[in-house]
């Protein structure tokens, strides 16, 4: 009906207005034409999952004074535009938006969209909830957020995305290529942002498109076809057709000869010229035009109308062939060309878009948000395990809302810290809401297991567990109770790792006379450390700021004790009052202040000793009596004054690090040493806004440095970027190593790039790299490793030294669109001060070749700290009425030292998603870089495994199916490739999973019989 009426209108209009004119039908049927230059027009919209506006504001189109973008418009107008011509195509990327829209649609529209997807007119690519960042996102978070999107797409549309589309992230990680690309089953990966010098060279050599082999260990078995765009992810200039957008003035194709300004020949010539120019820097006769950009297609017809005409007239002209395409069609065409491609290894960091503009500031921007994301990531991992033990509840509480918040915050303008302040607040709010719900899951599951000796059972657990998310600022109401009136505190310590593990726990307490017992009633060694004024001030201020109330209790001490916890399980400890004050204080309260009188101060109750000068309290030596390492080491702070952009308009900002002068921070020299049986602490007031505590534990051979930085002053009008340096005599010869998204270590060479001759214009900012796990340097005899608790930027600016950027506060915007200076504050009743952050890093020195064990195993412990739950003892003996220790695995079993469980999650359908990760690279450690194996029967005791299916990394297709479809690309040069080690198929009877170095294997596990809650 509608179509007929339209025809009639057109007919009438032509009769009355102009006898000559007739309805024009554009021929858009063109496919690929061999022998011609094929211009693949790829219509797309880049929809940031939050940036200048929050995700929801972008979706509904509100807050228009900031930006007019409305994703609902994009998707609403897309459907009729695609229906109008079956040759038109579109790709959609961001599942967080797509799912919001999908939920809003009628069944009728949903059915239409399903048809558009199955016909290939609408292709869902990338397919994660967001287009995650690659520098500041951890690989576990990248996997989780991709899985969430991919499984939805599989369930609703029964398709698996084929293409990685990381067009906007600011540099690209090796992990993205091999893990989130090849191991997900993508056929290719496209992006736009690579260093401007690299881009120039690649254009000249026609090497923007490569075979990217991101992993040394998995090598050719996990390589992927990857393409960097010649300029950006927009159309060539002059081919840009957004409705009501006067920012780019592209001439429309005026093809009605009865109207003025007929321009078809001119526009066709311009089209062909732009195509030929791109073809000159591209291999094969296929080029891609990315037809769209940020939040475009608000009214999709404006773009399609022009593209229809271009395809019609350009193909009529015949010099080149234009077609509606997608990255899948483009990839298939490249593959069919049988061309050989250059190999790319390592990654594309750091990114500079022009001279003096290194996007290395965002590695550290918003360190508190980055820390929060990492803490929530670990919590989510643990909470899903506990959710599985208890049994998932669809109606809630469950971990879904935390999953969603964590997925969204991996976006390349979220965890990066490059969003506006109100948007950063929105991400934090989502995490907080998600956490609050997951906290209930954790409490219920622990109670369920702990109470399972009682008759009531786990359906209605009696124990109410509390948790302390603000423990990092020494706030924990359940532990801040007066034990002298007979209350006992029960602490359940959960370990989400697959290994037995020992770690020192600390909680704030009021009483001095306390004793800690394990679940067998045995008194265990503990230590009281006074809660110093600086900690109390931070605690009181931030509790008031976050919770709107001043904390009531006034704890005087940290109570520290060592907890030993089985894999995927918990141990219970009881803290109670004791009258034997003298005896206990002798054992527990061994601390004293030392003034700066002696020559040296030696710190450390175990193998590791740190030596400080007595006079100024400067760290001078690191001595390990077991490994016989004795190394000179210094640690210092300095700040870079941030360029304000007055000279050449390039300021330091949320994205860009542009230092303008280095300023060492001279420590004021006041040192307090606290000593005890478990650990020693060195407290240092570095300056009025930097405080540092260095901890050396009896049973650990690394130093833990806790820094408190802020508020960074800016009353001099100068932004400041705060760094710490660890300096040794190691002859590191310009080389240092940083991790790729928390996984493989990549060699970095100062002032050097493997892929081109680097022109050094920013000797500091241009040598910064993202760090998620850690960094190290080495020489023939020794290696120095530093591990971090969140993503930060780091470098080795001089030999023997590692540098981390810990905090930044700026006064100017760096002109990349965010339009705000990165100036974070904390406020109480509208009174704001610069943000103070508390964080940790860990350092260790090993004989050369021995550092990997610590970096990998302890690195995993940093990622997954113990989860603590508290309750008061509800009777004489908690342990008699409760399950005091628990392991989800067979009690006789632990995972091998080189394997971690990175996902254990009950899916909607009752099946279980399991991911196992080998933690070592090939050749990284002499004992642990070997094939390893995991016995599934022991990971799931008391269960009968019915079926184990190996899946792609994002669990949206069978691994075998994925491997069958894998494209085998031709590679330039030598074809001698060593055989890659991979674990073999899982035998259905033995159920043993093999893992080769750096391998991650994903399984869906099904069990026999009705699900019952696991008992202790």
Q: Which residues bind Zn ion (CB under 5 A)?
A: 48, 168
Q: Which is nearer to Zn ion, 168 or 921 (CB)?
A: 168
Which of 130/914 has CB closer to Zn ion? 130
| Minimum distance from residue 238 beta carbon to Zn ion (Å) | 23
Distance CA 953, CA 956 (A): 8
Instruction: Name which of 48 and 950 has its Cβ closer to Zn ion.
Output: 48
Positive or negative, the CA dihedral 274, 280, 285, 287 is negative
- Using alpha carbons only, what angle is made at residue 486 by residues 480 and 488, rounded to the nearest 5 degrees? 55
**Residue 97 class from Cβ within 10 Å (0-12 exposed, 13-18 middle, 19+ buried)?**
buried
Pick the closer one to Zn ion by CB: 233 or 475: 233
Q: What tokens appear for 824 in the block?
A: 């974070």
Asked if residue 711 has a cis previous peptide bond (ω within 30° of 0), the answer is yes
Q: What's the closest the beta carbon of residue 141 comes to Zn ion, in angstroms? A: 18
Residue nearest to Zn ion (CB): 168
**Starting at the edge strand that comes first in sequence, how are the strands of the sheet with 321-324 ordered?**
286-291, 38-43, 321-324
- Would you state the structure tokens that stand for residue 750, as one six-digit string? 């100062």
- Residue 471's contacts (CB-CB under 8 Å, 6 or more residues apart) are 507, 868
DSSP letters for 184-232: GT-SEEEE----HHHHHHHHHTT-SEEEEE--TTTGGGG-EEEEE-SS-
Nearer to Zn ion, 168 or 783 (CB): 168
Shortest separation between residue 717's beta carbon and Zn ion, angstroms:
31
Q: Three-state DSSP class for 485?
A: helix
| 783 closest CA partner among 974, 629, 973 | 629
CB of 46 to Zn ion, least distance (A): 6
Q: Report how far residue 206's alpha carbon sits from residue 175's, in angstroms, rounded to the nearest whole number.
A: 24
Give dist(CA 483, CA 577) in Å, integer: 5
Nearest CB to Zn ion, comparing residues 168 and 994: 168
Of 329, 286, 278, 312, whose CA–CA distance to 30 is shortest? 312
Cα dist from 151 to 55, 143, 376, whole Å:
21, 12, 22
Sorted by sequence, the CB contacts under 8 Å of residue 436 that are 6+ apart come out as none
Q: Which of 180, 101, 88, 171 is nearest to 136 (CA)?
A: 171
66 or 470: whose CB is closer to Zn ion? 66
Query: 45: cis peptide before it, omega within 30°?
Result: no
d(CA 434, CA 407): 11
How would DSSP label each residue in 393-410? -SSSS-SHHHHHHHHHTT
- How many Cβ atoms from other residues are within 10 Å of residue 248's Cβ? 14
Distance separating alpha carbons of residues 408 and 423, to the nearest angstrom: 12
Which CB sits closer to Zn ion, 50 or 236?
50
- 798 vs 764: CA distance, rounded Å: 10
Closest separation in Å from C-beta 233 to Zn ion: 9
Residue 111 CB-density burial (10 A; 0-12 exposed, 13-18 middle, 19+ buried): exposed
Pairing mode, if any, of strands 569-577 and 514-517? antiparallel
Helix ranges (H only) for 356-420 are 367-390, 400-408
Q: How far is the CB of 191 from Zn ion (least distance, A)?
A: 11
DSSP for residue 836 = P
> How far apart, in whole angstroms, are the C-alpha atoms of residue 301 and residue 738?
47
Question: Reduced to 3 states, what is the DSSP secondary structure of residue 79?
Answer: helix
Q: Which is nearer to Zn ion, 166 or 345 (CB)?
A: 166
Query: In this structure, which long-range contacts are made by residues 202-209, counting pairs with CB atoms below 8 Å and at least 24 apart in sequence?
Result: 202/228, 203/230, 203/281, 204/281, 205/342, 206/281, 206/282, 206/283, 207/342, 208/281, 208/282, 209/282, 209/283, 209/334, 209/341
Q: 750, 746, 808, 798: which is closest to 773 by C-alpha? A: 746
Task: Considering the complex, state which of residue 48 and residue 439 has its C-beta at the smaller distance from Zn ion.
Answer: 48
Strand partners, 915: 903, 1002
CB of 447 to Zn ion, least distance (A): 43
Q: In the 8-state DSSP scheme, what is residue 476?
A: -
| 192 versus 788: smaller Cβ distance to Zn ion | 192
Which residues, 6+ apart, have CB-to-CB distance to 325 below 8 Å?
A: 40, 41, 42, 89, 288
Question: 78 to each of 72, 109, 159, 239, 302, how far by Cα in Å?
Answer: 10, 12, 20, 19, 11
């Amino acid at each position: 009906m509608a179509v007929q009426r339209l025809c009639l209108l057109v007919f009438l209009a032509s009769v009355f207005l102009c006898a000559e004119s007739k309805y024009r039908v554009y021929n858009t049927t063109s496919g690929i034409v061999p022998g011609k230059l094929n211009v693949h027009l790829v219509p797309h919209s880049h929809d940031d999952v939050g940036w200048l506006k929050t995700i929801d504001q972008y979706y509904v189109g509100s807050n228009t004074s900031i930006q007019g973008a409305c994703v609902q418009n994009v998707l609403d107008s897309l459907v009729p535009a695609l229906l109008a011509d079956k040759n038109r195509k579109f790709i959609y990327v961001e599942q967080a938006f797509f799912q919001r829209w999908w939920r809003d649609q009628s069944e009728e529209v949903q059915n239409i969209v399903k048809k558009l997807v199955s016909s290939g007119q609408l292709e869902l690519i990338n397919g994660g909830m967001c287009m995650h960042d690659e520098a500041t996102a951890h690989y576990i978070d990248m996997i989780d957020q991709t899985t969430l999107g991919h499984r939805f797409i599989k369930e609703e549309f029964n398709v698996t995305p084929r293409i990685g589309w990381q067009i906007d992230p600011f540099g690209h990680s090796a992990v993205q290529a091999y893990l989130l690309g090849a191991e997900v089953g993508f056929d290719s990966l496209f992006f736009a942002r690579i260093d401007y010098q690299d881009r120039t060279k690649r254009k000249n050599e026609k090497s923007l498109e490569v075979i990217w082999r991101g992993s040394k260990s998995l090598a050719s078995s996990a390589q992927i076809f990857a393409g960097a765009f010649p300029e950006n992810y927009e159309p060539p200039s002059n081919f840009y057709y957004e409705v009501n957008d006067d920012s780019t003035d592209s001439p429309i194709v005026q093809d009605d000869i009865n109207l003025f300004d007929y321009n078809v020949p001119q526009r066709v010539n311009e089209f062909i010229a732009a195509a030929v120019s791109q073809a000159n820097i591209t291999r094969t006769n296929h080029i891609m035009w990315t037809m769209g950009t940020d939040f475009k297609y608000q009214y999709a017809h404006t773009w399609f109308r022009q593209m229809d005409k271009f395809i019609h007239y350009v193909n009529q002209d015949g010099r080149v062939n234009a077609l509606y395409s997608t990255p899948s069609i483009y990839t298939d065409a490249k593959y069919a060309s049988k061309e050989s491609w250059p190999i790319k290894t390592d990654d594309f960091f750091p990114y500079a878009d022009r001279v003096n503009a290194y996007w290395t500031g965002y590695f550290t921007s918003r360190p508190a948000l980055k820390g929060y994301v990492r803490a929530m990531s670990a919590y989510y991992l643990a909470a899903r395990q506990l959710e599985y033990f208890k049994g998932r509840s669809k109606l809630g509480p469950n971990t879904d809302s935390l999953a969603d918040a964590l997925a969204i915050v991996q976006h390349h303008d979220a965890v990066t810290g490059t969003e506006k302040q109100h948007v950063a607040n929105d991400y934090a709010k989502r995490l907080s809401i998600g956490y609050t719900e997951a906290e209930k899951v954790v409490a219920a599951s622990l109670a369920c297991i702990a109470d399972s000796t009682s008759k009531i059972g786990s359906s209605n657990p009696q124990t109410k567990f509390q948790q302390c998310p603000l423990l990092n600022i020494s706030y924990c109401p359940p532990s801040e109770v007066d034990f002298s009136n007979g209350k006992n505190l029960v602490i359940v310590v959960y370990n989400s790792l697959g290994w037995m593990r020992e770690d020192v726990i600390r909680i704030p307490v009021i009483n001095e006379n306390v004793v800690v017992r394990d679940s067998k009633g045995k008194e265990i060694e503990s230590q009281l450390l006074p809660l110093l004024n600086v900690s109390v001030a931070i605690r009181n201020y931030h509790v008031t700021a976050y919770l709107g109330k001043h904390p009531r209790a006034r704890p005087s001490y940290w109570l520290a004790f060592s907890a030993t916890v089985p894999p995927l399980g918990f141990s219970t400890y009881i803290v109670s009052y004791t009258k034997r004050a003298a005896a206990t204080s002798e054992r527990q309260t061994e601390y004293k202040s030392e003034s700066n009188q002696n020559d040296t101060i030696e710190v450390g109750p175990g193998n590791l000793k740190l030596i400080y000068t007595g006079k100024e309290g400067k760290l001078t030596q690191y001595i390990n009596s077991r490994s016989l390492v004795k190394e000179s080491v210094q640690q210092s702070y300095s700040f870079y004054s941030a360029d304000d952009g007055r000279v050449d308009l390039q300021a330091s900002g949320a994205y860009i690090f542009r230092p303008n002068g280095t300023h060492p921070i001279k420590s004021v020299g006041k040192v307090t040493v606290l000593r005890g049986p478990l650990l020693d602490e060195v407290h240092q007031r570095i300056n009025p806004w930097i405080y540092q505590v260095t901890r050396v534990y009896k049973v650990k051979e690394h130093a833990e440095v806790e820094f408190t930085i802020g508020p960074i002053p800016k009353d001099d009008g100068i932004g400041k970027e705060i760094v710490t340096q660890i300096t040794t005599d190691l002859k590191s010869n310009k080389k240092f190593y940083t991790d790729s998204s928390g996984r493989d270590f990549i060699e970095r060479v100062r002032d050097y790039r493997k892929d081109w001759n680097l022109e050094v214009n920013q000797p500091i900012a241009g040598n910064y790299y993202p760090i998620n796990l850690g960094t190290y340097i080495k020489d023939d005899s020794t290696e120095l490793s530093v591990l971090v608790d969140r993503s930060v930027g780091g470098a080795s600016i001089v030999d023997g030294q590692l540098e981390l950027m810990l905090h930044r506060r700026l006064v100017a915007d760096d002109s990349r669109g965010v339009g705000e200076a990165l100036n974070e504050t904390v406020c109480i009743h509208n009174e704001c001060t610069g943000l103070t952050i508390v964080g940790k890093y860990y350092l260790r020195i090993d004989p050369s070749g021995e550092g990997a064990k610590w970096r990998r195993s302890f690195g995993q412990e940093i990622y997954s700290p113990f989860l603590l739950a508290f309750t008061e003892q509800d009777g004489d003996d908690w342990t008699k009425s409760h399950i005091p220790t628990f392991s989800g695995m067979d009690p006789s079993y632990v995972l091998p030292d080189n394997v971690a469980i990175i996902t254990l999650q009950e899916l909607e359908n009752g099946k279980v998603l399991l991911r196992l990760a080998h933690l070592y690279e090939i050749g990284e450690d002499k004992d642990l870089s070997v094939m390893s194996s995991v016995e599934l029967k022991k990971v799931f005791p008391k269960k009968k495994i019915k079926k184990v299916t190996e899946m792609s990394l994002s669990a949206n297709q069978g691994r075998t199916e994925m491997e069958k479809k894998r494209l085998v690309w031709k590679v330039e040069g030598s074809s001698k490739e060593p055989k890659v080690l991979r674990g073999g198929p899982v035998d259905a009877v033995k159920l043993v999973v093999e893992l080769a170095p750096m391998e991650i294997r994903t399984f869906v596990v099904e069990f026999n019989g009705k699900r019952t809650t696991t008992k202790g």
